[in-house]
Structure 1
Amino acid sequence: MYCELRELEPEEDGTPKVATLSEEEIDLICEEMLKLIKADLPFTREKIHTEDAIKIFRQHHQEQKAVLHELRGKFFTTVYYLDGYADHFYGPLTESTGVLKTFVLESFSRGFLLNIPPITSPYQVQKTPYQYKLFDVFKEHSQWCSILGVKGVGTLNSTILANKSRDMIQIAEGLHERKYADIADKIYERRGDVRLVLIAGPSSSGKTTTSKRVALQCRVLGMNPIIIEMDNYFVDRERTPRDENGNYNFESFQALDVNFLSLQMNQLFEGKAVQLPKFNFTEGKRTFNGNILQMNENDILIMEGIHALNPNLTKDMPSNKYYRIYASALTSLSLDENNNISTSDNRLLRRIVRDANFRGVSPEETILRWPSVRHGEIENIFPYQENADVMFNSALIYELPVLKYYVEPSLRRIHLNSPASVESIRLLKFLSYVQEMQPSEIAFIPPTSVIREFIGGSSFIY
């Protein structure tokens, strides 16, 4: 977890003013944390009148928290106390400070990283590599929030209630369009070498729309993008590896015929004509139907897939011939000053809406499949995200109010006896902080927006 100490007054442009910490100051913070852990202070929970809670938040200079609860419309608010200090948190809290036994603080950027042990190994902090590119993407999204004047969900709700949704949507989409154009410009600058664009990202990150909009921007620059589906390079079914339960593991890297893919890509780079495969998922066999491709000077291949950033995919290709893009929904929007929004939750909500709209999968099924999806991401995608030449953040500042309109009724229909009910209740609690948009406001979203991939109404064919 990345942490910063921010001054009460922001910079002139509205961005937070961060106090740069020295190693000595980080050591002092660590010492204070150790004292709190040794004291084993209890967290206590109390419901108080919302007006009283708002007064407490403002006394603590937590304006975003105060605005959030002013607009939430609840008579009572849960407040947690620690040694006389009151605050509000979304989600569960441990019973006392003594539960944390092991942690490490490391200097990073202008703040520090708080590393704690994983659930699987609760007494040992694991060394994690620094992810500088990912950090820059979060920082960029935070700057976008400042441009839009949205400091948290409270001010996001205020913007919607003030009937300013159209302006917010237009600016957010304009920022996306500029980023797509920047990526295409970088590809164009290397047009003498780059012949293949590889796009990877976790589930519901908007990879398909990203590939289509990057392709569109490439066309504007005079290039001719050709989409190639990585799934057509699966090995035949009898060679597909199985998981620990004996089921076919189509997400395994070994499910791809990497040698054949590399052979065809290199032949295309050399200007040779190749017959592209088409995988028959019903029969589990690779087929050929006479689809011949030979690249011209302005052609550029675009291939999307979960393994696109795995270095083993491109180990037999010249490194100057490909350009790698990592796409994900990396929101830096927070509920308030110290309650962050999970990027995984954001993608899960997208997937619930998309699966129900276009894949005939119920919200209950999507929720129950999500742990398996996350396991595949942790194994096959996240370890390689820093290999990207550029990262595209598909998160939109206004998307939670849009997703709430579609997903909330579906979540409420999940029965309490369902194994998905606990997760659905948690998501509903989270969404209760968000002001939903209405259809008249959702209509302002352009047909090329990445969010249209999930809610429908896109001008792209998926």
Structure 2
Amino acid sequence: MTKIEAARTEYQDWCRAVGVDTLEKVNETLEAGKAIELINLCEARQERKYAQAADQIYWKRNRCRIVMMSGPSSSGKTSSSLRIAQQARVLGLKPKVIELDNYFVDREHTPIDEHGERDYEALAAMDVAFLNQQLNDLLEGKEVELPKFDFKEGHRVFTGKTLRLEDGDILFMEGIHALNPDLTPDIPRDRIFNIYISALSALPGGEKDHGSTTDKRLLRRIVRDNRTRGISPEDNILRWPSVRRGEIRNIFPYEENANIVFNSSTLYDIPLLKYYAEPLLCGISESSPAYAKAQSLLHFLEIVRALKPSEIAAIPPTSIMREFIGGQTL
């Protein structure tokens, strides 16, 4: 059994243990007026998983000083990394964040894809040698000046920000290539702790079985990007195949390198996403090339009862789902 399969199986076993292992049972729970109880149960499970991840980092702290996190789009990587770092602080560790986006090569050296466009998702778009030099210097106790990538000008700059690893410091790094060993070829494997984050599990829904976790991530992305990035649901649907190709090429081949697979699914996320996504999807016209996919998503959302505003208000501000609907305080 792969690590991904094991994580999915563990989640499904938990769903059965708490008696909510299909979308029909999710609906029954909501109709029984137990939505807030379900939300609290899911949040308690997530908190336990974050704490378990931090425990493993703590146990390996004397050797593992670098935590690498990756996962496909809209898996809740940002929230999860912040929550795991928070739990690490509870144990006395001091997480230090290094942004991998600051280690791009200068724009003129970015590789060109098959369409003649600059491929910023390619590993060759990263300055691997410079990143490894800085990581090794940090592991040796040296102080380094951290780069800042100027996306407007297309090159690296230095602003005087420095970092040295002190006792208890742990580096946290997140990015699409984070679990690819070719990103850190000069770093011993036992110095790195890998975490893979994804919304792995979809619940079966009776006759309308829906097994695609990718659609759940697309719904998360539609809701988040409409709210924070000004990207319309139509544009998001049309961009999704390109996003998926990038995941297949750059993320999924390395998922089994993870020390921990973190499943960011919750039992209430589809009813929650229905409240926000349904009106957005209904606004896509029949003439749009995104219409067929929008209708497919709407057809799936028919299965579930949307959460009510009073129930949504009970979702804590630290929840992973707040990354998508807003109101997060991490």
1:366 to 223, 227, 236: 236
Task: Name 2:325's counterpart in structure 1.
Answer: 455
Unaligned 5+ segments in structure 2 are none
What amino acid sits opposite 1:288 in the alignment? F
CA displacement, residues 366-417 of structure 1 (integer Å, 9 cap, x when unaligned): 0000000000000000011001111000011110000000000000000100
Q: Which has the larger radius of gyration?
A: 1
Rounded to whole Å, the distance in 2 between the matches of 1:459 and 1:407 is 22
Deviation of 1:340 (Å): 3.6
1:199, 1:325 within 8 Å by CA — same for their partners in 2?
yes
Rounded to whole Å, the distance in 1 between the matches of 2:77 and 2:100 is 13
What amino acid sits opposite 1:414 in the alignment? I
Task: Name 1:428's counterpart in structure 2.
Answer: 298
1:213 to 69, 79, 83: 83
1:405 to 266, 270, 275: 275
Q: CA RMSD in A?
A: 1.0
Task: Name 1:298's counterpart in structure 2.
Answer: 168
Alignment of 1:107-256 (within 5 A): 132-256=2-126
Rounded to whole Å, the distance in 2 between the matches of 1:385 and 1:272 is 31
Deviation of 1:145 (Å): 1.1
- Greater helix content: 2
Rounded to whole Å, the distance in 2 between the matches of 1:235 and 1:336 is 50
Task: Name 2:127's counterpart in structure 1.
Answer: 257
Rounded to whole Å, the distance in 1 between the matches of 2:259 and 2:31 is 40
1:141, 1:332 within 8 Å by CA — same for their partners in 2?
no
Q: What secondary structure is seen at the aligned counterpart in 1 of 2:197?
A: strand
Task: Name 1:418's counterpart in structure 2.
Answer: 288
2:209 to 321, 324, 339: 339
Task: Name 2:256's counterpart in structure 1.
Answer: 386
Rounded to whole Å, the distance in 2 between the matches of 1:348 and 1:332 is 13
Deviation of 1:141 (Å): 1.0
Q: What secondary structure is seen at the aligned counterpart in 2 of 1:339?
A: coil
Task: Name 1:273's counterpart in structure 2.
Answer: 143
Rounded to whole Å, the distance in 1 between the matches of 2:193 and 2:316 is 28
Task: Name 2:156's counterpart in structure 1.
Answer: 286
Unaligned 5+ segments in structure 1 are 1-130
1:195, 1:301 within 8 Å by CA — same for their partners in 2?
yes
Q: What secondary structure is seen at the aligned counterpart in 2 of 1:410?
A: helix
* Percent identity of paired positions between Structure 1 and Structure 2: 53
TM (norm. structure 2) is 0.98
What amino acid sits opposite 2:236 in the alignment? T
User: Of the two structures, which has the highest relative contact order with CA contacts closer than 8 Å and spacing of 6 or more?
Assistant: 2
The number of aligned residues is: 330
Q: What secondary structure is seen at the aligned counterpart in 1 of 2:181?
A: coil
CA displacement, residues 232-276 of structure 1 (integer Å, 9 cap, x when unaligned): 000000000122111111111111001100100000000000000
2:210, 2:300 within 8 Å by CA — same for their partners in 1?
no
What amino acid sits opposite 1:310 in the alignment? N
Deviation of 1:445 (Å): 0.7
Task: Name 1:80's counterpart in structure 2.
Answer: none
1:152, 1:337 within 8 Å by CA — same for their partners in 2?
no
1:276, 1:288 within 8 Å by CA — same for their partners in 2?
yes
Residues 153/430 of structure 1: CA separation in 2 closer, same or farther (3 Å cut): same
What amino acid sits opposite 1:426 in the alignment? S
2:70, 2:197 within 8 Å by CA — same for their partners in 1?
yes
What amino acid sits opposite 2:271 in the alignment? P
Rounded to whole Å, the distance in 1 between the matches of 2:251 and 2:208 is 28
2:275, 2:306 within 8 Å by CA — same for their partners in 1?
yes
Q: What secondary structure is seen at the aligned counterpart in 2 of 1:360?
A: coil
Deviation of 1:336 (Å): 2.1
- Greater strand content: 1
TM (norm. structure 1) is 0.70
Rounded to whole Å, the distance in 1 between the matches of 2:75 and 2:294 is 21
